Amino acid sequence: MIQIQHNKSIKNYTTFGVPVIAKKFTQFSDLQELNEVVSHPEVVGEKMLILGGGSNLLFTQDFAGIVILNQIKGIEIISEDMDQVLIKSGAGENWHEFVLYCVDNGYSGVENLSLIPGSVGASPMQNIGAYGVEIKDVFHSLEAFHIESGEVKIFNNEECKFGYRESVFKNIYKNQYIITSVTFQLSKKPIFKTSYGAIKAELESMGVKELSIKKISEAVINIRSSKLPNPKEIGNAGSFFKNPVISKQQFDELKLKFPEIANYPLPNGDVKIAAGWLIDSLGWKGKRIGDYGVHKNQALVLVNYGESKGSDIYDLSTNILDSVKQNFGIELEREVNIF
Ligand code: FAD
Ligand code: NAP
């Protein structure tokens, strides 16, 4: 039997940790409970927000609707052979624990995505990515509950239309589906991906002689722990902005003015610019205003040092967007979901 709570503080359900009251709050741990939730008289007609680990959202005001926490657990092997394994995870599993489970069992493909906070169910939402790997590289399918019809639909990789921190669930199907499980296709014969960022250097300083997925996972955990603020200590939601992609022509013009600009050419000729470099070069990194600011080690991460309001952090993000636009002519986009 599900329970609806009223006027509940959900501050501690989010990694930003800003004060926020949800008019209503409930949770479900299987499909039957989810059906009960969506047909409950206190829920029908309400604005809904599906909550996972709360690590990619910022509340700028109280939530005048129902927050629904996804608690579907369970990891199961669907099929396997000598080379591959299909592994299905409940959407409410913790992402990093799922990664560790795969690493411990020798299933390769998600080790570069170690220590990303949040739930398995949210991982396809923005096609989570880090260190040269994205969910789409290992994604097989997902099951999603269609809120309006109550039907469960299976989406394959192509149907999710994964892009850079994008999927159909973040745009055309926004607020229409609740992801209940995700199935991944992982390899028993790993192809190590170590060329991205600081992985190689970290493996060297760890003294690793023989590569393994466990060692790569450990290297990623070490780098992330040293660079990124731990949300348990300093509120944040990871990168607040996406890296912009611009045309080669716009890049060539910018490069003349800013020879040092951090950039990564893409296969289609466009150029990805490191948003962190743009923000850092304008002096924002480490800037603190009262209880909030820009993290001292990573200009992409906005932080809540204690008691700041979501609207203050949002306003800071607007000031950063404006200053990047003014100085570089580039319109940054927020990655974090704003409510
Ligand atoms: P939530 O914040 O709970 O939700 C995010 C959005 O998805 C909301 O709109 C919510 O309504 C929706 N949603 C959640 N679950 C479901 C569901 N089951 N069905 C339908 N909609 C749902 N991201 C990266 O891509 N790469 C990184 O390297 C990375 N590093 C991070 C580091 C730190 C320190 C932090 C705090 C965040 C980082 N992130 C990163 C962002 C974040 O961890 C991911 O986006 C993560 O997938 C969010 O999961 P969540 O369960 O916390 O989602
Ligand atoms: P980093 O390694 O210092 O690199 C800075 C930026 O340059 C990153 O944004 C990355 O783009 C890009 N980059 C680095 N090496 C690249 C390569 N070989 N090819 C193409 N692009 C390259 O970044 P970091 O801040 O320490 O983060 C490390 C990884 O974790 C990155 O992949 C980053 O996306 C991910 N991360 C994501 C979040 C989040 O909330 N989304 C938070 C923390 C870290 P990409 O971002 O496109 O990879």
Give the pLDDT confidence of 21-79 residue by residue, as tens digits.
999 999 999 999 999 999 999 999 999 999 999 999 999 999 999 999 999 999 999 99
Residue nearest to atom 39 of ligand 2 (CA): 239
Residue type, 75: I
Q: Which of 264, 280, 281, 333 to mutate to test the pocket of ligand 2 (most atoms within 8 A of CB)?
A: 264
CA-CA-CA-CA torsion for 15, 288, 62, 9, nearest 10 degrees?
A: 50
What does CATH list as the number for 235-338? 3.90.78.10
Closest-lying ligand 2 atom to the alpha carbon of residue 224: 26
Q: What residues does each domain of the chain span?
A: 5-70, 75-227, 235-338
Ligand 1 center to 205 CA (angstroms): 31
**For residues 256-261, average pLDDT:** 96
Task: Please give the class, per CATH, of domain 5-70.
Answer: alpha beta
pLDDT greater at residue 307 or residue 101: 101
Ligand 1 center to 107 CA (angstroms): 23
Residue 290, sorted as left (phi over 0), alpha (psi -120 to 50) or beta, turns out to be left
Q: How far apart are CA 312 and CA 22, in angstroms?
A: 19
Task: Please give the class, per CATH, of domain 75-227.
Answer: alpha beta
* Burial class, 112, CB count within 10 angstroms (exposed 0-12 / middle 13-18 / buried 19+): buried
197 pLDDT exceeds 80?
no
Confidence of residue 201 (pLDDT cuts 50, 70, 90): very high
Ligand 2 center to 131 CA (angstroms): 6
Active site residues: 165, 239, 335
Reported in sequence order, the residue ranges of 188-335 that DSSP labels E, i.e. its strands, are 235-239, 245-246, 263-265, 271-273, 288-289, 292-294, 301-304
For 144, the 3-state DSSP assignment is strand
Closest-lying ligand 2 atom to the alpha carbon of residue 195: 18
Give the pLDDT confidence of 124-171 residue by residue, as tens digits.
999 999 999 999 999 999 999 999 999 999 999 999 999 999 999 999
Give the pLDDT confidence of 203-239 residue by residue, as tens digits.
999 999 999 999 999 999 999 999 999 999 999 999 9
| Closest to 19 in 3D by CA, of 317, 331, 308 | 308
Ligand 1 center to 116 CA (angstroms): 9
Burial string for 193-203 (b: 16+ CB within 10 Å, else e) reads bbeeeebeebb
Q: Tokens standing for 111? A: 């080790």
Q: How far apart are CA 270 and CA 153, in angstroms?
A: 35
Confidence of residue 1 (pLDDT cuts 50, 70, 90): confident
pLDDT greater at residue 291 or residue 196: 291
196 pLDDT exceeds 90?
no
Q: Tokens standing for 263? A: 């950039």
Q: How far apart are CA 238 and CA 224, in angstroms?
A: 11
222 Cβ below 6 A of ligand 2: no
What mean pLDDT, rounded, does the chain reach? 97
| Closest to 317 in 3D by CA, of 55, 15, 58 | 58
227 Cβ below 6 A of ligand 2: yes
pLDDT at 292: 97
